Chains A and B, each alone.
Chain A
């Protein structure tokens, strides 16, 4: 079964740091682009970051650029998101997702269950 499981969320003070992990199983992790997206309480989905299969290239939303770092360990089938200088507005459920592709088309599937990050004093 293709599966993604996030961990590492929690309560952190403004200015603090947190590292999220996403454990992948059931597919060739090292062949796929991977993403983080987030969803603040009661709001919609927002894309956060992307990393290519061999970790040579990364992309970030402007709102997190310079504060968040996406990385991966293909030997451990794990995706990471290092979040520094956290702000109250970073409070959200963070999802990891696989960017699947076929015949020139692309989509996110599967998604992990999500991990809640709360930034508050």
Chain B
């Protein structure tokens, strides 16, 4: 089973600052099979990025994904108030595992 490890566990930032979220896989992944989601309390996950770097429909361009092999990154260029949430990466290479999540909260 491929394990995804996200870091940091929590990121405390102010609106307007940038955020860099990491997702490390225990085995090399096909970039086509790496996605990122945002989840707010009481809501289902929302797709942000698929194929490691392709923004989903309607997602603002302040969100960007990058990476290859075992190391992937979600970058939020300037945090808006609505961006404070939990972010998960997911792989489809071997089964369908999620990382444990990174919480972005207000400093």
Q: Which A positions have Cβ atoms within 8 angstroms of B?
A: 35, 37, 44-47, 50, 59, 95, 103-114
Of listed A46, A59, A105, A107, residue having the most chain B CB within 10 A: A107
Q: Whose C-beta in chain A lies nearest to the C-beta of B99?
A: A44
A114-B88 contact in complex given A35-B96, A46-B98, A105-B32, C-beta closer than 8 Å: no
Among A35, A44, A104, point to the contact of B100 (Cβ < 8 A). A44
Among A50, A105, A109, A111, point to the contact of B96 (Cβ < 8 A). A50
B17 to chain A, nearest CB (A): 24
Q: Are A113 and B44 in contact (CB under 8 A)?
A: yes
Residues of B within 8 A of A46 (CB): 98
Q: Are B101 and A44 in contact (CB under 8 A)?
A: yes
A2 to chain B, nearest CB (A): 11
**CA–CA, A70 to B33, complex, Å?**
23
Interface residue B50 (Cβ < 8 Å from any Cβ of A) = yes
B residues 80-107 in Cβ contact with A at 8 Å: 88, 90, 92, 95-101
Q: Are B95 and A47 in contact (CB under 8 A)?
A: yes
Residues of A within 8 A of B100 (CB): 44
